Structure 1
Amino acid sequence: MQRQYLSIDIGGTTIKSARIDHSGNIMTKGKLMTPRSKDAFIQALQMIIRENPMITAICVSVPGIVDPQTGNVQFTGVLSYMGEFHLSEYLEKTTKLPVYVGNDANCATLAELWLGNLVGVDYGAVITLGTSVGGGIVINGKLLHGPHSRAGELSAMVTNRDNPDVEQRTVGATTSAVKMVEMITRAYNLSDLTDGRQAFQKISAHDPLAWKIFEEYCRRVAYLIINLQAVLDLEVVLIGGGISVQPILIKEIKTQFVKVQKSDRRLMADITMPIIKAANFGNEANLLGALYGLLLKIEN
């Protein structure tokens, strides 16, 4: 029987967990709602660990700034109540097991490097579209962390600097998939503002109101990829996040990339369009990537 590892994916809405073997086969799965206080959060982690005995090590994907060497986390978003927390040290002391903690977008990128669409790619990136925009960058076949553990923080890129609202100047603010869906559902007075299924039904039907919002959204994603290309000259850019399962999303991002590029001769001369496609893994990406991060840590 292969060794099994406990992988935990902490999200703003839910905490997913799985027991996974050394080859990336998922043996069991679990899910619970993400708590809204520090004490409840710690209790939830302890419960998940108790429910998964006989494991070899623990790996965790988290939203926030993570020091890959120490596992110290500066939590962000709805988990800001956790502040700065040495999650790796806490789990190692309480379980006496090896622990790896990684940023969620970086974990998604590691999953693609290990078993997905970045296998064999030297220069690539993953862009995760959700409440905000996450990213992971691959240089020379390895995940780039940077000296401050902040490489790939695409949401902090300033692309709308003239907006008088300071909070609307960054990629994270202007390229939120959740906000895009909400704009469409509001336009049609739908009762559930988070109903992505109905939003994409309108998009797929090329309904004028929905299509205009969607087209502008894809253009912003295309601008983001163009900016990455100007600096990194990537071979492959993968689109992740829940909406990446919609084939029309990838198709329209490519269309908008070409339109933007053709509108400026400098972009035609200086920018090469990378391969743009959906990331291979959906909701399991962070779970698998966290395990690969752990295996690399153990190997090193």
Structure 2
Amino acid sequence: MKAGELMQREYLSIDVGGTAIKSARINHSGNIISKFRVATPRTKEAFLTTLLNIWHENSSVVAVCVSVPGIVNSKTGQVQFTGALAYMGVFDLGDYLSAKTSLPVYVGNDANCATLAEMWLGNLSEVNTGAVVTLGTSVGGGIVVNGRLLHGPHFRAGELSAIITNRDDPVAKQRTVGATTSAVQMVRQVATACRLTDPDDGRKVFEYINARDDRAWAIFTAYCRRVAILLINLQAVLDLDVVLIGGGISAQPILITEIQRQFKQVQASDRRLTDDIRIPVIEAAKFGNEANLLGALYGFFLKFEE
């Protein structure tokens, strides 16, 4: 197929989140033609109907690519849904959408899709060994080894939220990275400490953080230290060249600067860490809200076109 013909092809990419479903028509070069957004339904029937409605409104596309939260068999499209979509249980989303649309379908884990976007057009495009760590309600991860996304034999590689770093906490569910390193919870803690009326006003929270307000700064630096410890643990196993920080708060330059500073402080506190751990390049991921849309499309290319 000629380059011009490829450019004219459009793909439907869908990013399923806990509160909203974003979708876009994207061409073969990764240019977004148009974008849409709807609220995420709260029942299985409504969820599947919404996906089909999105396709009906974009039925001229040549393929459907989907990013979802959960454990995803990217070969078959079967998903073990988690989080706000746990009501979907285990569902063969790839087969379902393929049967309904008569199109090839790719389904990928959301954090993996964010990583694929960086591998394709972002800050991992020339990186052999790296990772994306997404900071949001929980912590997601995607790992690149020898230039390829690491899925694991059971498609569970990169589940960073399940790492135990606080093993002595008497409350079992507070012992994991997912529980202790939630960006959403950090923002709410700062908002409460600074007596903000909206506990989820991240923009206002970072005004206090950037001003080094004592109430905000203590919470923020402790949070960045926990992120840094997570990165040190990853380095001990993977020896990464680059770690990209994703999620909404990654747009704040002070976040990256403080994670770097905390990494060096923790490392300097123990000679073993100085000797055995190399600090990777730590920077913000290139793509924000469009990462999963682009990554799902690149996942499709890797599966069907290579």
* Partner of residue 229, structure 1: 235
User: Does structure 1 residue 274 correspond to structure 2 residue 280?
Assistant: yes
User: Does structure 1 residue 152 correspond to structure 2 residue 158?
Assistant: yes
User: Does structure 1 residue 43 correspond to structure 2 residue 43?
Assistant: no
C-alpha displacement of 1:192: 1.1
C-alpha displacement of 1:219: 0.2
Task: State how far apart, in whole Å, the 2-side matches of 1:251 and 1:33 are.
Answer: 34
* Partner of residue 116, structure 2: 110
Task: State how far apart, in whole Å, the 2-side matches of 1:230 and 1:209 are.
Answer: 33
Unaligned runs of 5+ in 1: none
* Partner of residue 195, structure 2: 189
Which structure 2 residues correspond to residues 50-89 of structure 1 after superposition, within 5 A? 50-89=56-95
Number of equivalent positions: 300
Q: Select which of 242, 258, 268 maps to 2:264.
A: 258
Please state whether the residue corresponding to 1:125 is helix, strand or coil.
strand
C-alpha displacement of 1:42: 1.0
Task: State how far apart, in whole Å, the 1-side matches of 2:196 and 2:221 are.
Answer: 20
Instruction: Report runs of 4+ in structure 1 exceeding 4 Å deviation.
Output: none
Q: Deviations over 1:17-60 (max 9, x none)?
A: 00000000000000011111111111111110111121000000
Task: State how far apart, in whole Å, the 1-side matches of 2:195 and 2:215 are.
Answer: 12
C-alpha displacement of 1:299: 2.2
* Partner of residue 245, structure 2: 239
* Partner of residue 220, structure 2: 214
Please state whether the residue corresponding to 1:28 is helix, strand or coil.
strand
Task: State how far apart, in whole Å, the 1-side matches of 2:224 and 2:205 are.
Answer: 15
Supply the AA of the counterpart residue of 1:46.
L
User: What TM-score comes out, normalization by structure 1 length?
Assistant: 0.99
Please state whether the residue corresponding to 1:258 is helix, strand or coil.
helix
* Partner of residue 95, structure 1: 101
Task: State how far apart, in whole Å, the 2-side matches of 1:91 and 1:42 are.
Answer: 9
Supply the AA of the counterpart residue of 1:55.
V
Task: State how far apart, in whole Å, the 2-side matches of 1:162 and 1:133 are.
Answer: 20
Task: State how far apart, in whole Å, the 1-side matches of 2:189 and 2:46 are.
Answer: 33
Please state whether the residue corresponding to 2:173 is helix, strand or coil.
helix
Task: State how far apart, in whole Å, the 1-side matches of 2:126 and 2:252 are.
Answer: 25
Supply the AA of the counterpart residue of 1:210.
A
User: What TM-score comes out, normalization by structure 2 length?
Assistant: 0.97
Task: State how far apart, in whole Å, the 1-side matches of 2:293 and 2:236 are.
Answer: 31
Supply the AA of the counterpart residue of 1:166.
A
* Partner of residue 126, structure 1: 132
Q: Select which of 176, 181, 184 maps to 1:175.
A: 181
Task: State how far apart, in whole Å, the 2-side matches of 1:146 and 1:42 are.
Answer: 28
User: Does structure 1 residue 161 correspond to structure 2 residue 176?
Assistant: no
* Partner of residue 297, structure 1: 303
* Partner of residue 289, structure 2: 283
* Partner of residue 33, structure 1: 39
Q: Select which of 136, 146, 150 maps to 2:142.
A: 136
Supply the AA of the counterpart residue of 1:264.
D
User: Does structure 1 residue 17 correspond to structure 2 residue 45?
Assistant: no
C-alpha displacement of 1:233: 0.2
Unaligned runs of 5+ in 2: none
Please state whether the residue corresponding to 2:227 is helix, strand or coil.
helix
Please state whether the residue corresponding to 2:170 is helix, strand or coil.
coil
Task: State how far apart, in whole Å, the 1-side matches of 2:46 and 2:64 are.
Answer: 20
User: Does structure 1 residue 249 correspond to structure 2 residue 249?
Assistant: no
Task: State how far apart, in whole Å, the 2-side matches of 1:191 and 1:32 are.
Answer: 27
